């Protein structure tokens, strides 16, 4: 799978509304057949920072994502709400779901 983590520094005045601002993009992406997950979290150290954790089945699904109409729409509508270009880590992982964190096993 393609595993992506992106950090979005949102303008302070838009930070509380970011989930609403990104809602259409989030909903459409989650509906893509190759999307495994697309989850937003908010930093507890800096409430203006959101972290997106996303995964796609394979390169074909990743290509479909970046070529989708809703992705192009997000490229137009989301940047005006950002302080800077998002930072990203993008890698291929030889698995298709989350693994358990054995060091924190719940017994």
Question: Could you state, in order of their start, the residue ranges of all structural domains in the chain?
Answer: 2-93
Alpha helix (H) ranges present in 17-58? Answer: 18-21, 23-30
pLDDT score for 103 = 96
**Token output for 32:** 């893509």
What is the chain's mean pLDDT, rounded?
97
Q: Quick one: DSSP state of residue 14?
A: G
Burial class (CB in 10 A: 0-12, 13-18, 19+), 43: middle
1: pLDDT strictly greater than 90:
yes
Task: Report, as an integer, the average pLDDT of 78-103.
Answer: 96
Assigned CATH for 2-93: 3.30.70.100
81: pLDDT strictly greater than 90:
yes
Please, which pLDDT band fits residue 95 given cuts at 50, 70 and 90? very high
């Amino acid at each position: 799978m393609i595993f992506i983590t992106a950090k979005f520094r949102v303008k302070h005045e838009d930070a509380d509304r970011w989930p609403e601002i990104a809602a259409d993009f989030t909903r459409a992406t989650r509906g893509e057949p190759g999307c495994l997950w697309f989850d937003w979290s908010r930093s507890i150290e800096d409430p203006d920072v959101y972290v997106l954790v996303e995964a796609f089945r394979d390169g074909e699904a990743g290509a479909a994502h970046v070529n989708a109409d809703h992705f192009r729409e997000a490229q137009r509508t989301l940047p005006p709400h950002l302080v800077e270009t998002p930072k990203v880590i993008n890698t291929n992982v030889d698995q298709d779901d989350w693994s358990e964190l054995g060091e924190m096993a719940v017994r």
